[in-house]
Structure 1
Amino acid sequence: MIAMHTPPATRIDCEKRKKLKRKRQKKFAASLLLFLVTVLSMSCGLTRMLVDAEASALIAAVLDAQASADGSDGSNQGTSHVPAGKLGPWVTSDVSRGLMQVSSLSNDADSVDAVNRAMITDPDGVGVVHIVMIVTFPSEGGDVSVSSSAKFTRIFEECIESLLSTAKRMPVHFILLTDKGSEFFFRKIVVNIAVAKSRVPVYVDAVALVAITSNMTSSLERLRSHLPSAPRTKYAGPLFHVEPLLPFAALPGRPNRVLVLDANLRFRTDVSLLRDTFDLFGKQRAIAMGAELSPLYRESFRAHRDKFPASKLGLPRPGFQGVNSGVALMDLARLRSSDYYRDLAMPSPAGSHLHGKAERNDTLTYLVKKYSFGPSGVGDQDFFTLLAAERPDMFYTLDCSWNVQLDLTLKNEEDTEVFDKYHYCCPQDDVKVFHGNSGYPIPED
């Protein structure tokens, strides 16, 4: 009897076919289960549970990715990409620039090319809205909190949905600054909402924060030491001091004019109208922010007012309430070209060219002492409030309707009248952007 032997190559091919078959079976079973659950959710009102389940699964995947990233050598930094075709027929990708367009225009190659060319040649945002958002998952004691992350995910989704569903006039280019493990997660959220809701072309860049800050570590630590954040709060992390350094960061597309937005916003009107504020800057202004709508800086400038009783710093309008950085317009080119701003934001080994005395060599130290400034502990907002106090000529005051802050933390029975002087902005029907800072709920329209 002759023994029959299966050739090794044949056995390998057989194993591959079996694995492929099992993979297809699992995929079919998963699709069938998803279909059944979706039908059930439509009839039983379980849609929110599905969204939360998907968010939880994605967050778990992000945590795994973050763990893997923590063990990497850090060499793979910069803009991350999603290959064209992976997210459906509405997505095209200019791989050389890491930009994605999400729009029905994607079916028209000439339209896509025209918009891509406009992106490349439009750093001033004349025909496109460049938006920078710094987004990472909340952490507690250094560890990512899954429950807080699920809540943050919903807040971020609601912000993006409101922004894109009201955008009508200009393409939108998102630059998401995040951690390496979360790049794909946040980008996917924007892409999914853009496909479903947007009536304008949408571009998405997701960049690891470390790729932005790796060359500015000393500047970041300097800001944190001069204007420390409250310990054991979300502001304790370094990302809440990144915004002042954006003019010196290599952002995708090299935009000169950007909107810098918090994630806890709700847009009620077209974001391109906010972008039009750049046209009001004139020749000197480089930043636009609205007033801080709470007595947050009343105490920060109290010592200064004690020395100079005529000062209006920290007092309600028409005094100077401080600024709120949740909605900001920044002309990065003007800030880069400003020697004063560079002295303030970046360390200067040779000392400031603006101050001759030794104790004034550091411009930021000089301003903190000049105004006897007590940091409020909310990160970069303290920086911009100090700058606005010293150099109001660099600021355009954004109408408060673009940043209606809902935080009532500082309101109490004794200070209700004082609080209201700071807090009132405009009738609710006139609100353009709600800001749910400190977790305060945003009214439903």
Structure 2
Amino acid sequence: MKAGAAGVMLGRLVTMRSYQAVLLLLAALAVFAFYYLGSGKENFSSTTRRMKASSAVDTDLLPPSSAELKMGEGKSKNLESRGVQDYHLLIMFTKVDRSPALTDKLQGALHSLVKYGKLESSEVLSLHFVTDEPSREVGKTVLRGLLQGASFKYKVIFHDVSTLTEKLFPIVEAMQKLFSAGTGTYYSDSIFFLSVALHQIMPKDISRIIQLDLDLKFQTNIRELFEEFDNFLQSSVIGIAHEMQPVYRHTFWQYRRENPNSKVGSPPPDGMPGFNSGVMLLNLEAMRQSQLYNQLLEPNAVRLLAEKYHFKGHLGDQDFFSMIGMEHPELFYVLDCGWNRQLCTWWKDHGYADIFDLYYRCDSHIKIIHGNCNTPIPEE
């Protein structure tokens, strides 16, 4: 009986091992199908799996091969060794329940991005959206319709605005008092300074990211904008275009009166007109490594510069970058006006008509149109 029982057990063991072998074979075939036979548009890098708790990859918005997102560390490394390149793009999309027009702006921006966007087969566009819960659901609906027609590989990552605000507030609290529209410091205002401290919040393996406003229209391939990073000087940490209105001529009026020979607030090409934050190239690794830049984030440094320039703004990160750019222009790579062709003409009718065109003129090929201050973007 012992021999018979042993025989039965041996038979069961062989059957079990055969069953496990079949399962392993099926799993291997499934992986092979995802990576070599599938026609989807999604590859994955280790960056996504190491996203902090504030982020989530939304698999509902990914192409059929999005099951790759669930693969382990080994597969991700294999993809990277094959030369997969992630391009990171960040857009804030919040409070859409209070401002329905934001949905139209998102649709317009993404439609033009998808229309002109072209990437190599080894490249992936990672779309980061900072949202609240109501805006996230609206955003998903918009993205499903628009991204299906994309000719490039992509993934979508959502970041919770409340989580990011909690991380930002201690870093930017001091500058909020100087560069916010309201009086005093509002906790929720912190998100308007996201770009200032993004290098301290995003995962370390994201070295570059482009942050965009919603009110944009692309007229060229987004890949060309990422190539502008290659033009940064060694000291550059941020790429940004000049402000195309005399905003900072007005804001720095007292400093200009006390320093009549200063270029602060004067128009290009020789002046320092300040910056517009509608399109920003953030070299996160350079921002992390720059001792000067991180010193300028300290409350005392912000206060001293604001006192020197008699500065009080209301445009968030744009004001901060414009102010430190007056003192340390070497931190910035100035984008050509064609990369952020602003349409707003508000200041032309508010005291600066005689010099307005000195700031507003742009003779370059227009690659991105910016309908700032709710200026309609012309149809093609």
Q: What secondary structure does 1:370 align onto?
A: helix
1:11 — aligned with what?
Answer: none
1:421 — aligned with what?
Answer: 358
2:160 — aligned with what?
Answer: 208
Q: CA deviation at 1:152?
A: 0.8
| Matching of residue 383 in structure 1 with residue 330 in structure 2 | no
Letter in 2 for 1:399: D
Question: CA 1:94 to 1:244, structure 2 compared with 1: closer, same or farther past 3 Å?
Answer: farther
Q: State TM-score, norm by structure 1.
A: 0.66
Separation of aligned partners in 2, 1:309 and 1:116: 60
Separation of aligned partners in 2, 1:80 and 1:184: 14
Separation of aligned partners in 2, 1:240 and 1:97: 35
Letter in 1 for 2:286: R
Question: CA 1:291 to 1:366, structure 2 compared with 1: closer, same or farther past 3 Å?
Answer: same
2:310 — aligned with what?
Answer: 372
Separation of aligned partners in 1, 2:228 and 2:170: 33
Separation of aligned partners in 1, 2:54 and 2:78: 20
Q: CA deviation at 1:91?
A: 5.4
Q: Which deviations, in whole Å up to 9, do the C-alpha atoms of 1:210-237 show, x marking residues without a partner?
A: 2223233222322211322256xxxx84
1:195 — aligned with what?
Answer: 148
Runs (5+) with no aligned partner, structure 1: 1-75, 99-112, 139-143, 348-361
Which stretches of structure 1, 4 residues or longer, exceed 6 Å deviation after superposition?
A: 113-116, 119-122
Q: Which deviations, in whole Å up to 9, do the C-alpha atoms of 1:41-87 show, x marking residues without a partner?
A: xxxxxxxxxxxxxxxxxxxxxxxxxxxxxxxxxxx95223444xx55
Sequence identity percentage:
28
Q: CA deviation at 1:411?
A: 1.4
1:144-223 pair list within 5 angstroms: 144-145=97-98, 148-149=99-100, 151-169=101-119, 170-196=123-149, 198-223=150-175
Question: CA 1:282 to 1:238, structure 2 compared with 1: closer, same or farther past 3 Å?
Answer: closer
Question: CA 1:413 to 1:154, structure 2 compared with 1: closer, same or farther past 3 Å?
Answer: closer
Q: CA deviation at 1:250?
A: 2.9
Contact 1:305/1:313 (CA < 8 Å) preserved in 2? Answer: yes
Question: CA 1:320 to 1:189, structure 2 compared with 1: closer, same or farther past 3 Å?
Answer: same
Q: Which deviations, in whole Å up to 9, do the C-alpha atoms of 1:172-211 show, x marking residues without a partner?
A: 1111112244334324423431112x11101110110222
1:20 — aligned with what?
Answer: none
Letter in 2 for 1:258: I
Q: Which deviations, in whole Å up to 9, do the C-alpha atoms of 1:419-438 show, x marking residues without a partner?
A: 111111126xx210000111
Runs (5+) with no aligned partner, structure 2: 1-51
Q: What secondary structure does 2:293 align onto?
A: helix
Separation of aligned partners in 1, 2:325 and 2:156: 31
Q: Which deviations, in whole Å up to 9, do the C-alpha atoms of 1:68-123 show, x marking residues without a partner?
A: xxxxxxxx95223444xx5586451444599xxxxxxxxxxxxxx7899349987x
1:305 — aligned with what?
Answer: 256
Q: What secondary structure does 1:309 align onto?
A: coil
1:214-293 pair list within 5 angstroms: 214-230=166-182, 237-251=189-203, 254-293=205-244
1:30-179 pair list within 5 angstroms: 78-83=54-59, 86=60, 90=64, 92-96=66-70, 117-118=79-80, 127-138=85-96, 144-145=97-98, 148-149=99-100, 151-169=101-119, 170-179=123-132
1:41 — aligned with what?
Answer: none
Contact 1:77/1:208 (CA < 8 Å) preserved in 2? Answer: no
1:340 — aligned with what?
Answer: 292
Q: 1:434 aligns with which of 366, 369, 373?
A: 369
Q: What secondary structure does 1:415 align onto?
A: coil
1:324 — aligned with what?
Answer: 276
Letter in 2 for 1:437: N
Separation of aligned partners in 1, 2:177 and 2:350: 34
Deviating more after overlay: 203-212 vs 217-226: 217-226
Q: Which deviations, in whole Å up to 9, do the C-alpha atoms of 1:271-321 show, x marking residues without a partner?
A: 111111111113221111111000111121111112211101111112111
Separation of aligned partners in 1, 2:151 and 2:76: 17
Separation of aligned partners in 1, 2:197 and 2:139: 22
1:15-30 pair list within 5 angstroms: none
Question: CA 1:321 to 1:77, structure 2 compared with 1: closer, same or farther past 3 Å?
Answer: same
Aligned residues: 321
Separation of aligned partners in 1, 2:232 and 2:351: 40
Question: CA 1:388 to 1:201, structure 2 compared with 1: closer, same or farther past 3 Å?
Answer: same
- What root-mean-square deviation, in Å, do the aligned CA atoms of Structure 1 and Structure 2 show? 2.9
Question: CA 1:380 to 1:155, structure 2 compared with 1: closer, same or farther past 3 Å?
Answer: same
Contact 2:278/2:370 (CA < 8 Å) preserved in 1? Answer: yes
Separation of aligned partners in 2, 1:393 and 1:320: 13
1:35 — aligned with what?
Answer: none
Letter in 1 for 2:130: L
Letter in 1 for 2:368: V
Contact 1:187/1:205 (CA < 8 Å) preserved in 2? Answer: no
Contact 2:57/2:156 (CA < 8 Å) preserved in 1? Answer: no
